């Protein structure tokens, strides 16, 4: 699963990889952090380390390397992803909602291939390959394939989490701490936390956003897969426009427990809650993203 940040400064998209994604997906968290081969894949084991004495930053580095290796191993695979977004009024009533279905091909630089959608009302700040911010309709839109041009003619504006880590200096932007080990997704896990360092040097909106984010990660002791992650803005961030501020951003990511011997083709789910405040109103949204199934990679447009 990928949590994806758009290169266009006015969009924040939840993508695995993961996707947070920041989802994606933070394709993907794992969250702006986390992502075969043949049908008979073996787990990719991380290089041996003196695991009992690992620092939080060493665990993070190993998890990042594991994500990169998994992403390369998935070059012959694709997964189906579902994103659901609800928008609320000040009383918590749903005023708009939408569901988008897409196929994610890890490592493919082109945009996601959207295979269907269902939208009711006007959803702000989200772009799913077509015009989702049209005036609200009186009836729910029927699930339907997206126009081919919407998925093929747009330039790819996203970057992977590994690129984001380096580009925005995330490794050095936080204080890293290791907590006591725990369990996640049915596995023994390291638990590490990250909190923003004070007096950070920031020159972009993305750096200001990341510089206010804190959270924790559960990382598999077996192979450094990120099993769970959560994070939250510690203070408002001016991300989209000068007059708009992200006042609330919370995300969670959970890998599903392994049901067989294959640790690579792993299902996951993620959520994100956002509130963007303008001088006279607020946009309140919640997003749910799931990786539904894996399958051998097919050419675009075959679904």
CA 157-275-233 angle, to 5 degrees, is 80
User: Is residue 36 very low, low, confident or very high in pLDDT (cuts 50, 70, 90)?
Assistant: very low
Q: Is residue 130 part of a domain?
A: yes
On whether residue 301 sits in a domain, the answer given is no
Beta strand spans in the chain (E)? 4-5, 12-13, 77-88, 94-104, 113-120, 174-184, 187-196, 213-220, 226-233, 245-255, 268-277, 282-296
Element (H, E) at 173: helix 170-173
Give the pairing of strands 4-5 and 12-13.
Answer: antiparallel
pLDDT score of 125: 62
Residue 91 has pLDDT above 60, yes or no: yes
87 inside domain: yes
Quick: pLDDT tens for 132-187: 333 333 343 444 344 343 334 333 334 467 778 888 888 999 999 999 999 999 99
Cα 26-203-280 angle, rounded to 5 deg: 70
**Element spanning 81, H or E:** strand 77-88
Work out the average pLDDT over 46-69: 82
Q: What is the mean pLDDT of residues 78-107?
A: 95
**Number of structural domains the chain divides into:** 1
What letter would DSSP give residue 35? Answer: -
Q: What is the C-alpha to C-alpha distance for residues 41 and 73, in angstroms, rounded to an integer?
A: 9
Q: What is the 8-class DSSP label of residue 156?
A: P
User: Could you tell me which of 256, 284, 260 has the C-alpha nearest to residue 270?
Assistant: 256
Please give the backbone phi and psi of residue 197, each rounded to the nearest 5 degrees, phi first.
-70, 150
pLDDT reported for residue 287? 97
In a domain, 148, yes or no: yes
Mean pLDDT of the chain: 76
**What is the mean pLDDT of the segment spanning 120-138?**
52
8 Å CB contact between 242 and 255: no
Range of the domain at 171: 4-296
Residue 82 lies in a domain: yes
Whats the size of the chain, residue-wise? 303
Q: What is the pLDDT of residues 224-241, one digit of tens each?
A: 999 999 999 999 988 655
Q: What is the pTM of this model?
A: 0.75
Is 303 a member of any domain?
Answer: no
124 has pLDDT over 90: no
Question: pLDDT class for 301, splitting at 50, 70, 90?
Answer: confident
């Amino acid at each position: 699963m990928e949590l994806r940040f758009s290169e266009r400064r006015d969009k924040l998209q939840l993508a695995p990889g993961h996707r947070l994604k920041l989802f994606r997906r933070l394709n993907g968290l794992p969250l702006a952090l986390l992502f075969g081969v043949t049908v008979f894949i073996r787990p990719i084991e991380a290089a041996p380390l003196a695991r009992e004495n690992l620092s939080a930053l060493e665990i993070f580095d190993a998890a990042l390397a594991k994500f990169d290796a998994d992403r390369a191993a998935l070059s012959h695979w694709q997964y189906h992803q579902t994103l659901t977004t609800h928008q609320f009024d000040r009383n918590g009533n749903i005023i708009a909602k939408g569901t988008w279905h897409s196929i994610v091909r890890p490592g493919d630089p082109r945009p996601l291939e959207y295979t269907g959608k269902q939208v009711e009302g006007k959803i702000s700040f989200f772009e799913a390959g077509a015009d989702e911010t049209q005036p609200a309709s009186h009836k729910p839109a029927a699930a339907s394939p997206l126009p081919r041009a919407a998925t093929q003619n747009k330039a790819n504006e996203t970057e992977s989490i590994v690129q984001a880590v380096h580009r925005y200096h995330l490794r050095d932007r936080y204080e890293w701490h290791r907590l006591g080990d725990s369990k996640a997704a049915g596995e023994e896990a390291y638990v590490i936390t990250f909190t923003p360092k004070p007096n950070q040097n920031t020159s972009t909106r993305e750096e200001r956003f990341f510089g206010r984010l804190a959270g924790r990660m559960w990382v598999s002791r077996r192979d450094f897969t990120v099993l769970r992650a959560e994070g939250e803005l510690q203070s408002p961030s001016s991300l989209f426009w000068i007059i708009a501020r992200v006042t609330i951003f919370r995300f969670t990511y959970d890998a599903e427990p392994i049901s067989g011997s294959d640790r690579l083709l792993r299902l996951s789910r993620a959520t994100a809650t956002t509130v963007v405040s303008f001088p006279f109103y607020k946009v309140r949204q919640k997003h749910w993203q799931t990786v539904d199934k894996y399958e051998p990679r097919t050419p675009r447009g075959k679904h």
